[in-house]
A and B are shown apart, each in its own frame.
Chain A
Amino acid sequence: MKNRNVYPFLAIEGQEEMKLALILNIINPTLSGVLIRGEKGTAKSTAVRALAQILPAIEKIKDCPFQHDPKEKHDVCMECYRVDCRGRVIESLNGRQGSEIIMEGIKVIELPVGATEDRVVGTMDMEQALKKGEKQVEPGILAAAHRGILYVDEVNLLDDHVVDVLLDSAAMGVNTIEREGISFSHPSRFTLVGTMNPEEGELRPQLLDRFGLCVNISGISDPDARVSIMERRTHFDEDPEGFMNLWEEDSKILMEKIRQAKILFPDVTCPRPMLYEIASYCLDVGVDGHRGDIIILKTAKTLAAYEGRTQVESKDIEKAAKLALPHRVRRQPLQDIVADVSSIREKNKATGYSS
């Protein structure tokens, strides 16, 4: 990926909310993703593709098709079809030299809209079956995306049955394969990033809820900014490497900031009055279920860490609610997803309505 020319993440003009949402998900992968809604040509896909450059590296077992965390329990490996690798895991349990561990950047795995179910879930390895007469799993996209980012462009156009599969594994963090003669399961926890143009139809409610955060973006209307977008793009097209070098330094600073935030995150606390604030926010606005509360809390803590603080403040909550609630506000069927969460809260408070 490194040598291909990718538009630098930081060179994207404006769209601060989208960039912030993506960065927060890098710092804290348990935020479970972002849904980016917006019209055509608003740098949605560019931003996600550019993400790869600023992703931190993680420890991986070399050549592991399931992206296992070397620190994770090894029960999974015991059932793995890769006998050689399994042997090494047993070795390492006995205190000897185990599998080789490498540092590798988090991957962005793209799920094409036309992907078939067997490619997503995984299926039987045809070659092995024919050559050796043995059944083996051929890992699918969900295996590749474990501990990484699963990116779906035009997520609202995804086939229904593929969505079902995503729901299944997003809910459990496990991909269970019970098909085509194969019975196998492996962990699959990914950050789900989707982009969509709402004009082409909305997402199914259940899938909508799986995205931790949601940002609505629109084209920039400030003429200066528009000019600047054009200039940057032209520069990039004419001299990609020169342009990328220009942003190299800033990218490094951002990566360092992300790294610091990751370290700081476990120390961030949320005082009780702030918890009260979160819960009443959700009740005032009227959301389904409890995922909203949980995501706001996580987002607020991540925001604090990103700003180098160890305590959540009320501005974090305000900001977090704007990211975590737009797609969770209870609405009538066929109603639009709200754009401004805090105004709804004000309105509901004023009218004394609360769920």
Chain B
Amino acid sequence: MSFNHIFSFSAIVGQDRLKLALILNAVNPRIGGVLIRGEKGTAKSTTVRALASLLPGTRMVTLPLNATEDRVAGGIDFNLAVKKGTRTLLPGLLARAHQGILYVDEVNLLDDHIVDIILDASAFGENRIEREGISFCHASDFILVGTMNPEEGELRPQLLDRFGFCVEVTSEKDLEKRILLMLRKENYDADPEGFLSEYQAENSLLSERITKAKNLLKDVGFSDSLRAFVAELCTENNVAGHRADIVIEQAAKALAAYYGKTEVELNEIKQVADFALVHRKRDPIPPLPPDNSHDHNHEPEENREETETEDQEQSPHEPEERPESSESNGDQDVNEQDQQNHGEESHVPEPEPRGENNEQTKKEVLEKIFEVGETFKVRKFTSPKDQILRRGSGKRSRSRTASRQGRYVKSTIPKGSNDIAFDATLRAAAPFQLQRKNNSKLAVILEDQDIREKIREKRIGNFLLFLVDASASMGARGRMAASKGAVMSLLLDAYQKRDKVAMVTFRKEEAFVNLPPTSSVELAGKLLEKMPVGGKTPLSSGLIKGFELLRNHLLREPESRPMAIIITDGRGNVALGDQKPFKEALGLADKMALEQRIQFIVVDSESTGAVSFGLAQKLAVHLNANYFKIEDLKINQLVDIAKGERF
């Protein structure tokens, strides 16, 4: 692809860890690839592409995000089929990537069905094709290299685990380096070829060093004591499965070979361990630095039984135990890693609202604006995947779509959508062309039985209604701050999933629509920050107002499945009619629960430990809703991953 000038590997400023990770993979493909996570504009893609030009004889296959299944896995060769009537395989990208690098830019945006194919191939080292009347199997052993910006959502856990290494990249903070970077880029833009030739010598040296290391690799020894150390390291980091152990060993060997040594030492392991652990550790507690753990591990020779890891090493591509549950449904963002901006901690604080002491004396209805409490990563809320054809755009729920939009996933025999998958139709017709030879001028005769239709897939963003209790009782003991934190967390989640949101608050005598349905989650966030609290609790009024919005939404999009998230302590004290306020609210809840299309979630803001009235819980029962305490909303990684739990 010479029309695309590639930057020189040696000319890239900084990013030493990333470069090392890539070099090690080039030395030893058994490491199993690199996932590069980082903010935008940090030379992620540039570095990967530069690597390929450094390694003559290594093929780098780019998998574009819009690839269709037939081109990834391979399909029937249309040209041959038409001319000779034979069914032969036209190899796909997985065949081309064999013994090379499969590169996916923005890998977290890759469609699930393509991810599945890649997972399958990388698990078995071969690609099995059973489609379009072809049955075929070919070796497909590749290094998977992907880049992603975590702001756009996380990766599916199984896919994450497939990457041997994970590197986090950030931008250079050093002024001199930033200037150097600008200068190089400027020189490159002015005269790409001259620039590249300037670094040619350095690149060749590196290239040679990699080749030497490759040859040396098989002679590199790895002592049993180190193996025990690696095993301990992985255990300490709570790593699931044995892939990390294997990756560390292979990587340390590669590094030793790169240094020209024939025996791995502790130093190498220290340098590479993070690459293998950063995306696998399950413990929020920061790991002990490796040298400490080594002290624990004095006389490692004694730990003979640890050498069982050695057996594992024979089968580095053996599939890990996949959590069965998250398998087929595969929503992508189970959160191995917290997002940068929030949620390093996982306990619920009861932050003291700052406004608490101000103007406590006023006799009128107190109005306060509370800070937004700590935000956190929320657990998954998805409506069960349904097969009803729907419209919409977003990422929360996967759904097949009937409107001719969405990504063309695969083809099927006609089901009446009239959305013809022309390529699949042709491939279906191709083998019969010799028999159908004809007097028409067309080269291909299509018959009814050849017709295939497209199956398109699109992620449907949900409509989320936030129904927030802003009465005075919510102001007590930091409830509001925590509630705001919870809503903000849900909003952040909604933002990543491209949901539509609306917000209704109720306080004093009635409910207000603070935010009509919009895709601008930013707006909702801003409103939330400014939301005042005070007055009585018109719970019924809030429920009605919220229900109206939901019903309007359903009228416009009858197939959608909106979610209503009600944040309250349930202490309703303003009624619409003559009934007791809370009883009235429950009655309304019963009626609302009849609308099956709406999923209700009640988040109880009542703090635990205090005298509990359990009112919100009652409300949840009547609404037939999922009920959570605020702290339950947080994702509990271990539990959720283990159970594959979702809603």
Question: In the complex, what's the smallest C-beta–C-beta distance from A297 to chain B, in angstroms?
Answer: 5
Closest to B150 in A: A205
A168 touches B182 (CB 8 A): no
Is the Cβ of B520 less than 8 Å from the Cβ of A206?
no
**Among candidates A178, A202, A275, residue contacting B72 with C-beta atoms closer than 8 Å:** A178
Give the residues in chain A near B4, CB-CB below 8 Å. 172-174, 187
Instruction: Check if A334 sits within 8 Å of B525, measured CB to CB.
Output: yes
Contact B41 A209 (CB under 8 A): yes
Of all A-B residue pairs in the complex, the 4 with the closest CB atoms, nearest first, are: A289-B41, A133-B443, A291-B41, A201-B519
Contact in complex: A178, B518 (CB < 8 Å): no
Residue B523 interfacial (CB < 8 Å): yes
Contact across chains for A167 and B71 when beta carbons are under 8 A apart: no
In the docked arrangement, what's the CA distance between A132 and B524, Å? 56
**Please, how many angstroms separate the alpha-carbon atoms of A48 and B167 in the complex?**
40
Docked complex Cα distance between A173 and B7 (Å): 13
| Complex interface: chain B residues within 8 A of A289 (CB) | 39-42, 171
B183 contacts A275, CB within 8 Å? Answer: yes
Does A90 touch B at the CB level, under 8 Å? no
* Contact (A288, B190) CB under 8 Å given A161-B407, A275-B183, A279-B179: no
B-side contacts of A209, CB under 8 Å = 40-41
Residue in chain A with minimal CB distance to B75 = A181
Q: How far apart sit A121 and B149, CA to CA, in the bound complex (Å)?
A: 23
Chain A residue at minimum C-beta to C-beta distance from B175: A279
List of A residues within 8 angstroms of B406 by Cβ: 159, 161
Identify which of A52-60, A68-76, A95-103, A224-232 touches chain B: A68-76
Structural contact, A280 and B175, CB atoms closer than 8 A: yes
User: Is there a chain B Cβ closer than 8 Å to A266's Cβ?
Assistant: yes
- Interface contacts (Cβ under 8 Å), in number, total 222
Q: Is the CB of B2 within 8 A of A75?
A: yes
When the two chains form their complex, are residues B178 and A165 in contact, meaning their CB atoms are under 8 A apart?
no
Complex interface residues of chain A between 181 and 228 (CB less than 8 A to chain B): 181-183, 185-187, 198-202, 204-206, 209
Assess whether B492 is in contact with A135, with CB atoms less than 8 Å apart: no
Seen from chain A, the residues whose Cβ lies within 8 Å of a Cβ on chain B are 30, 72-73, 75-76, 114, 116-118, 121, 124, 126, 129-135, 159-161, 164-165, 167-168, 171-174, 176-183, 185-187, 198-202, 204-206, 209, 266, 270, 272, 275-276, 278-280, 282-283, 287-294, 297, 328, 332-336, 355
Nearest Cβ distance between residue A86 and chain B, in whole angstroms?
Answer: 15
Chain B residues whose C-beta falls within 8 Å of the C-beta of A205 in the assembled complex = 40, 149, 151-152
Q: Are A178 and B64 neighbours in the complex by a CB distance under 8 Å?
A: yes
Chain A residues whose CB sits within 8 angstroms of the CB of B423 once the complex forms: 124, 180-182
Stretch at the interface among B78-86, B199-207, B589-597: B78-86
- Assuming the contacts A133-B444, A179-B68, A334-B492, asked whether A279 and B3 have C-beta atoms less than 8 A apart, the reply is no
Q: Determine how close the nearest CB of chain A comes to the CB of B373; give it in whole angstroms.
A: 15
Most buried by A among B63, B72, B149: B149
Residue numbers in B under 8 Å from A114 (CB-CB): 405
For B65, list chain A residues within 8 Å (CB).
161, 164-165, 167-168
Residue B278 lies at the interface, judged by CB distance under 8 Å to chain A: no
A168→B443 CA distance, assembly (Å): 35
Given contacts A121-B66, A164-B106, A181-B78, 19 further A-B contacts (CB under 8 A): A73-B2, A126-B422, A133-B433, A135-B79, A159-B393, A159-B406, A160-B498, A161-B66, A172-B105, A177-B64, A181-B71, A181-B427, A185-B1, A186-B3, A201-B520, A201-B521, A275-B183, A276-B179, A283-B178
Q: Could you name 14 residue pairs across A and B whose Cβ atoms are closer than 8 Å?
A: A73-B3, A132-B443, A133-B83, A133-B444, A160-B498, A164-B109, A172-B45, A174-B3, A180-B408, A205-B40, A205-B149, A289-B42, A297-B182, A334-B521
Question: Of B39, B341, B459, B498, which is in contact with the most chain A CB atoms at under 10 Å from its CB?
Answer: B39
Contact: A182 with B71, CB < 8 Å? yes
Tell me the chain B residues, 374-422 only, with Cβ under 8 Å from chain A.
Answer: 393-395, 404-408, 421-422
Q: Across the interface, do A167 and B83 meet the contact criterion of CB distance under 8 Å?
A: no
Please determine whether A294 and B182 come into contact, CB atoms closer than 8 angstroms: yes
Which A-chain residue is minimally distant from B420 (CB atoms)?
A: A126
Compute how far the CA of A51 lies from the CA of B183 in the bound complex, rounded to whole angstroms: 32
Please state if A334 and B42 are interface contacts (CB–CB under 8 Å): no
Q: Across the two chains, which residue of chain B brings its CB closest to A169? A: B64
Q: Which of B67-123 contact A (CB under 8 A)?
A: 67-68, 70-72, 75, 78-79, 82-83, 90, 92-93, 105-106, 109
Q: Does B514 contact A (CB under 8 A)?
A: no
In the complex, what residues of B have CB within 8 A of residue A168's CB? Answer: 64-66, 105-106
Interface contact A334-B522, CB-CB below 8 Å:
yes
A120 to chain B, nearest CB (A): 8
Cα distance A73–B192 when bound, in Å? 13
A336 to B422, CA, bound (A): 44
Partner of B422, one of A72, A124, A333: A124
Asked, given contacts A178-B68, A288-B40, whether A133 binds B178 with beta carbons under 8 Å apart, the answer is no
- In contact, A76 and B3 (Cβ under 8 angstroms): yes
* Nearest chain A residue, comparing its CB with the CB of B494: A334
Docked complex Cα distance between A185 and B179 (Å): 34
- Name the residue of chain A whose CB is nearest to the CB of B404: A116
Report the separation of the CA atoms of residues A75 and B444 in the bound assembly, to the nearest whole angstrom: 31
A276 to B182, CA, bound (A): 10
Tell me, in angstroms, the Cα distance from A114 to B404 when the chains sit together. Answer: 10
Expressed in whole angstroms, the Cα–Cα distance for A61 and B521 within the complex equals 47
B441 within 8 A of A: yes
Cα–Cα, bound, A261→B70 (Å):
48
Of A134, A179, A276, A288, which is within 8 A of B66 by CB?
Answer: A179
Q: Bits for B1-44, please: 1 = Cβ < 8 Å to A, else 0.
A: 11110000000000000000000000000000000000111110
Q: State which residues 573-600 of B face A: CB under 8 Å.
A: none
Q: Tell whether B495 is near chain A: CB-to-CB under 8 Å.
A: yes
Give the residues in chain A near B175, CB-CB below 8 Å.
276, 279-280, 283
Bound: A291/B178 CA distance, A:
11
B71 touches A183 (CB 8 A): yes
Point out the residues of chain B lying under 8 angstroms from A117, CB to CB: 66, 407-408
Instruction: Report the minimal beta-carbon distance from B312 to chain A, rounded to whole angstroms.
Output: 35
Report B442-489 residues with CB < 8 Å from chain A CB: 442-444, 446, 458-459, 488
Interface positions of B from 166 to 194, Cβ below 8 Å from A: 171-173, 175, 178-179, 181-183, 185-186, 189-190
Asked whether any CB of chain A lies closer than 8 Å to the CB of B426, the reply is: yes
Choice from B3, B43, B408, B441 contacting A131 with Cβ under 8 Å: B441
Any A CB within 8 A of the CB of B62: yes
Q: Which residues of B have CB within 8 Å of A198? A: 520, 522
Nearest residue (CB) in B for A134 is B79
Residue in chain A with minimal CB distance to B38: A289
User: How far is it, in angstroms, between the C-alpha of A255 and the C-alpha of B488 when the chains are bound?
Assistant: 50
Within 8 Å CB of A278, what residues of B? 179, 182
CB-defined contacts of B433 to chain A, threshold 8 Å? 133
What is the chain B residue whose CB lies nearest that of A272?
B179
- Interface presence of B567 (CB below 8 A): no
Contact A290 B3 (CB under 8 A): no
The answer to whether B179 touches A355, judged by C-beta atoms less than 8 angstroms apart, is no
Could you tell me the distance between the alpha carbons of A49 and B413 in the complex, rounded to whole angstroms? 44
By beta carbon, the residue of chain A nearest B96 is A183
Q: With the chains together, A164 CA to B393 CA distance in Å?
A: 14
B491 interface contact, C-beta 8 A: yes
* A336 lies within 8 A of B522 (CB): yes
In the complex the two chains form, what is the Cα distance from A72 to B3 in whole Å?
7
Interface residues of B in 504-560 (CB under 8 A from A): 518-526
Tell me, in angstroms, the Cα distance from A106 to B423 when the chains sit together: 33
Pair B45/A160 contact, Cβ less than 8 Å: no
The answer for the CA separation of A275 and B406 in the assembled complex, in Å, is 45
Residues in chain A near residue B525, CB distance under 8 A: 334-335
For chain B residues 123-181, which have a beta carbon within 8 Å of chain A? 149, 151-152, 171-173, 175, 178-179, 181
Q: Which residues does chain A contribute within 8 Å of B40, judged by CB atoms?
A: 205-206, 209, 288-289, 291
Q: Which of the listed residues A116, A165, A279 has the most CB atoms from chain B within 10 Å of its own CB? A: A279
Cβ-defined partner of A202 (8 Å) among B3, B64, B520? B520
Q: Which residue of A lies closest to B185 (CB)?
A: A294
User: In angstroms, how far is the closest chain A Cβ from the Cβ of B41?
Assistant: 2
Is the Cβ of B79 less than 8 Å from the Cβ of A275? Answer: no
Interface centre among A30, A135, A176, A185 (most CB of B within 10 A): A176
